[in-house]
Amino acid sequence: MLPPGAPVESGAMDTPAAITRADVEHVARLARLGLTDAELDSLTGELAAVLGHAADVAALDLADVAPTAHPLPLRNVLRPDVVRPGVDRGEVLAAAPAVEDDRFRVPRILDAP
Amino acid sequence: MSGARQIAADVRSGAVRARDVVEEHLERIATRDGEINAFNLVLADEARAAADAVDARVAAGDDPGPLAGVPIALKDNLCTHGIPTTCSSRILEGWRPPYDATVVQRVAAAGAVAVGKANLDEFAMGSSTENSAFGPTRNPRDPSRVPGGSSGGSAAAVAAGFAPLSLGSDTGGSIRQPAALCGVVGVKPTYGSVSRSGLIAFASSLDQIGPFATSVADAALLLDVIAGPDPLDSTSSPEAHVPVLPVLDQGVAGLRIGIVDELVDAEGVEPEVRAAVLAAAAALEAAGAVVDRVSVPSVVYGLSAYYLIAPAEASSNLARYDGVRYGLRVDGPDLATMNARTRDAGFGPEVKRRIMLGTYALSAGYYDAYYGKAQKVRTLIVRDFARAYGTFDALLSPTSPTVAFPFGAKADNPLAMYLSDVCTIPTNLAGHPAMSVPFGTGADGLPVGVQVMADAVQEPVMFRVAQVLEAAAPGGGAA
């Protein structure tokens, strides 16, 4: 599988353990997805398959390689600080599921006193 | 009448009315889109009004621009002011954006006439357009097969003659792969060269907007209209776009072309597809190019790295669909429950899968092993391409390992579907331009696309190669 010149594997210790159904439930909570039992079951196998394919990457020894987050060598892009029209507030609010007093209305966040 | 350049020339000269052009295309849509389902929404009234405005400008002695009266299809992840923009997702059904994407403004300012919002895999996640909440798009070349994805509607609209041009977006191959499967030209420009303001984000370090067309020259025409800096996109390159249309016919004499070993021999590449790439290389050699094989070793890790990076970015980008500011809301007793119910009801299975994968890859304890490693692999791929472009002006590979496949063939196996993008992903990771050019047919007489890749901002060289390939293609190139 390894092409000539590719970095050598550093052994299995860098490869994380297989994903479990409990991991999937935990991740679903982090991702704010209210998944059904059937979805949790199927996702456990599907994620394991994709992560299994990614084991080749997880196993590489890349300690001396810098990460690339973005392909452009751009940083701190600034434009002139001039006033320009933004999007129309009425139009934005008209697209919201619920509005009250020109604000987005949401269910209770904190418990009632 | 066909061909964007011909239409624009005839409309600008007054020989043809834009209104007649748009009526002809709306008629084709009315006749066949019931079968193809390229569009989530046909903009018949808006298109007629826009065409009339173009005709009025011509009558008044004005020049409406280089796309005068040319019908264009817009992928439905491009924001259109006041016009529903869904990403083919239930979670955005009915949402009307409060602004236009920059590319939508630019094509309109150049005289183009938007005829519809084109179907896609939900949030551009997929390779077959089977993941749309509004039903799959069919391949006009064989309606029992997928058109590819995620820009399947944009590719099918051009292949079916619904519009001579369309816009798509390409995060891991979502323009090039459907172009290959539908027998049209599809271009992913250099990262940062086309503004993404108003493109609904999937994976921000990879997403790029680009053209579909029936010819290389028409694709060049559209690219020259949409490319260039935009103050509304902080990731847009500040460099002025170098127009490709003027250099299109400069030929390939003396250009050095490399056939990428790891991609022509990638997992699942069909023999006919491989043969097409080698025939394309031979055609370039006959036209005066110097052709050789080249190894870009780390591209074999591209697929794995992509399916960690893209879902990680998607899990962050799609956090905004929480039922608060736009789109669907499914109520609950508290905010967290409302968020979770909304997202479970609004997202389809592939979007959930990618959000889960990305959240896992970014989560505590796994970040370094998965996301961090994938970013380092990205560095290796950038380095290996840089080495290859030290010797070669352009690289060749298959676009898709296979021709168009039947509906359902890969729908139950995410990994098999992901392998559709094995040849296109490396250039997204590197940020380079690449395009698919039809080059003959493979299994069952279906179109094959050859991928031409070039170094960053080397679109002029890439298009010269593509132009020669189009002229040399068996059967005369695009559908």
Secondary structure (DSSP) of A12-73: GGGSPPPP-HHHHHHHHHHTT----HHHHHHHHHHHHHHHHHTHHHHTB--TTPPP-S-SS-
Q: What is the DSSP string of B263-283?
A: HHT-TT--HHHHHHHHHHHHH
With cut-offs at 50, 70 and 90, classify the pLDDT of residue A75.
confident
Assign A73 a pLDDT band (cuts: 50, 70, 90). Answer: confident
Interface membership of B386 toward A (CB under 8 Å): no
Whether residue B386 has pLDDT greater than 90: yes
CB contact under 8 A, B380 and A65: yes
Beta carbons of A33 and B418 less than 8 Å apart: no
The residue assigned the tokens 């390409």 is B170
Average pLDDT over residues B43-57: 98
Q: Measured between beta carbons, which residues in chain B are less than 8 angstroms from residue A46?
A: 353, 414
Note the CATH number of domain A7-64: 1.10.20.60
Q: A50: which chain B residues are within 8 Å (Cβ-Cβ)?
A: 307, 357, 414-415, 418
pLDDT at A113: 55
- A16 CA: distance to closest CA in chain B (Å): 7
Q: What are phi and psi of B210, to 5 degrees?
A: -160, 170
Least confident of A6-15, A43-52, B110-119, B326-335: A6-15
pLDDT for B479 equals 45
If one compares B216 and A86, the residue with the highest pLDDT of the two is B216
Q: Which residues, 6 or more positions from B191, have their beta carbon under 8 angstroms from its beta carbon?
A: A71, A72, B205, B206, B208, B235, B428, B431, B432, B456
Tens-digit pLDDT profile for residues B120-136: 999 999 999 999 999 99
- Which positions in chain A touch B200 (Cβ < 8 Å)? none
The answer to whether A112 contacts chain B (CB < 8 Å) is no
Cβ proximity of B430 and B381 under 8 Å:
yes
- At B277, the pLDDT band (50, 70, 90 cuts) reads very high
Asked if A68 has any chain B CB less than 8 Å from its own CB, the reply is yes
Return d(Cα B192, Cα B239) in angstroms, integer. 9
Which of the two residues, B411 and B226, has the higher pLDDT score? B226
Half-sphere CA count of B16, side-chain side, radius 13 A: 19
Contacts of residue B238 in chain A, CB cutoff 8 Å?
74, 77
d(CA B470, CA B208): 24
* A31-49 confidence digits (pLDDT tens): 999 899 999 999 999 999 9
Packing angle of the helix pair B349-362, B302-317 (nearest 10 deg): 100
pLDDT interval class at A13 (50, 70, 90): very low
With beta carbons less than 8 A apart as the criterion, state whether B17 and B54 touch.
no
Average pLDDT, whole number, for chain B?
96
CA distance A95 to B325: 7
Phi, psi of B258 (to 5 degrees): -110, 130
Residue A9 pLDDT exceeds 60: no
Give the sign of the dihedral formed by CA A2, CA A5, CA A7, CA A11. positive
**Percentage above 70 pLDDT, chain B:** 99
What is the pLDDT, as a whole number, of residue B476? 60
Q: Is it the case that residue B424 has pLDDT exceeding 60?
A: yes
What is the model's pLDDT at position B280?
98
Of B331, B373, B429, the CB nearest to A107: B331
* Parallel, antiparallel or unpaired: strands B71-75 and A103-104: unpaired
Distance CA B341, CA B304 (A): 31
Entry field: residues in chain A: 113
In whole angstroms, give the CA distance from residue A48 to residue A86: 44
| Beta carbons of A62 and B373 less than 8 Å apart | yes
Give Cβ neighbours of residue B220 (< 8 Å, ≥ 6 apart).
B244, B245, B248, B463
Question: pLDDT, tens digit, for every residue of B401-418?
Answer: 999 999 999 988 888 899
**Confidence (pLDDT) at A4:** 40
Q: Which residues of B touch A71 (CB under 8 A)?
A: 191-192, 205, 382, 429-432, 456
Hunting for tokens 């296109």 — which residue is that? Answer: B424
Residues of B with Cβ-Cβ distance to A68 under 8 angstroms: 375-376, 378-379, 382
State percent of chain B over pLDDT 90. Answer: 94
DSSP B391: H
Question: Nearest-CA neighbor of B358 among B236, B131, B206?
Answer: B206
Are B380 and A97 an interchain contact pair (Cβ–Cβ within 8 Å)? no
DSSP string, B205-261: TT-EEEEEESSHHHHHHHHHHHBS--TT-TTS-SSPP--SGGGTTS--TT-EEEEEH
What 8-state DSSP symbol labels residue B368? I
Please list the residues that pair with B203 across neighbouring strands: none
Q: Could A43 and B356 be called an inter-chain contact, meaning their C-beta atoms sit closer than 8 Å?
A: yes
C-alpha B302: how far from its chain's center? 19
Which residue in chain B has the smallest CA separation from A43? B353
Pick among A68, A79, A81, A87 to test the B interface (most B CBs inside 10 A): A68
Distance from CA of A36 to the nearest CA of B (A): 9
Arch. (CATH architecture) of B4-247: Alpha-Beta Complex (3.90)
Q: Is the pLDDT of residue A7 over 70?
A: no
**How much is the average pLDDT of B138-165?**
98
pLDDT top residue among B267 and B149: B149
Q: What is the rounded distance in angstroms from the CA atom of residue B53 to the CA atom of residue B64?
A: 9
The region, left, alpha or beta by phi > 0 then psi within -120 to 50, assigned to residue B118 is: beta
- Indicate the range of A70-79, A89-98, B362-371, B428-437 predicted with least confidence: A70-79
Least confident of B136-145, B224-233, B320-329, B359-368: B359-368
Q: What is the mean pLDDT of residues A82-102?
A: 93
Residue B213, beta-bridge partner list:
B165, B185
Sign of the C-alpha dihedral computed for residues B217, B219, B222 and B228 taken in this order:
negative
| Percent of chain A clearing pLDDT 90 (strictly above) | 53
B335: confidence class by pLDDT, cuts 50, 70, 90 = very high
Question: Do B379 and A34 make contact, defined as CB atoms within 8 angstroms?
Answer: no
Q: Is the ipTM of this complex over 0.90?
A: no
The C-alpha atoms of residue B137 and residue A110 are separated, in whole angstroms, by 45
Q: Do A104 and B341 touch (CB under 8 A)?
A: no
The pLDDT score that the predictor gives to residue A5 is 40
Residue A103: closest CA among chain B residues belongs to which residue? B325
- Which residue's structure tokens are 């920059």? B102
Nearest CA to B174 among B424, B457, B468?
B424
Q: Has residue A6 got a pLDDT over 80? A: no
Nearest Cα residue in chain A from B234 = A77
Q: Measured on CA atoms in the order B175, B304, B386, A70, is the torsion positive or negative? A: positive
Write the residue in A23, A32, A77 that is nearest to B340 by C-beta.
A32
Residue with tokens 């729908």: B411
- B435-477 pLDDT, tens digit per residue, is 999 999 998 999 999 999 999 999 999 999 999 999 999 976 4
Report the pLDDT averaged over residues B420-431.
97
Question: Is B327 at the interface with chain A, CB within 8 A?
Answer: yes
| B9/B25 Cα distance (integer angstroms) | 17
Which helix or strand (DSSP H or E) is residue B26 part of?
helix B18-36
Tokens read off for B413:
């196996």
Which of A30-44, B104-118, B159-173, B463-477 bottoms out in mean pLDDT, i.e. has the lowest? B463-477
Taking the model in full, what pTM does it have? 0.95
* Residues B297, A4: C-beta atoms closer than 8 Å: yes
Contact across the interface for B322 and A32, Cβ inside 8 Å: yes
Lowest mean pLDDT among A6-20, A24-38, B266-280, B292-306: A6-20
Of A26, A28, A69, the CB nearest to B375: A69
B450 SS3 class: strand
Contact A62 B376 (CB under 8 A): yes
Supply the pLDDT for residue B284. 98
**Which residues 6+ apart lie within 8 Å of B227 measured at CB?**
B189, B193, B194, B241
CB of A9 within 8 Å of any CB in chain B?
A: no
Question: Is the peptide bond between B150 and the residue preceding it cis, with omega within 30 degrees of 0?
Answer: yes
Q: What is the DSSP string of A57-79?
A: HHTB--TTPPP-S-SS---S---
Among the partner-chain residues B301, B341, B353, the one whose CB lies closest to the CB of A46 is B353
Contacts of B374 in chain A (CB under 8 A): 54, 57
Residue A29 pLDDT exceeds 80: yes
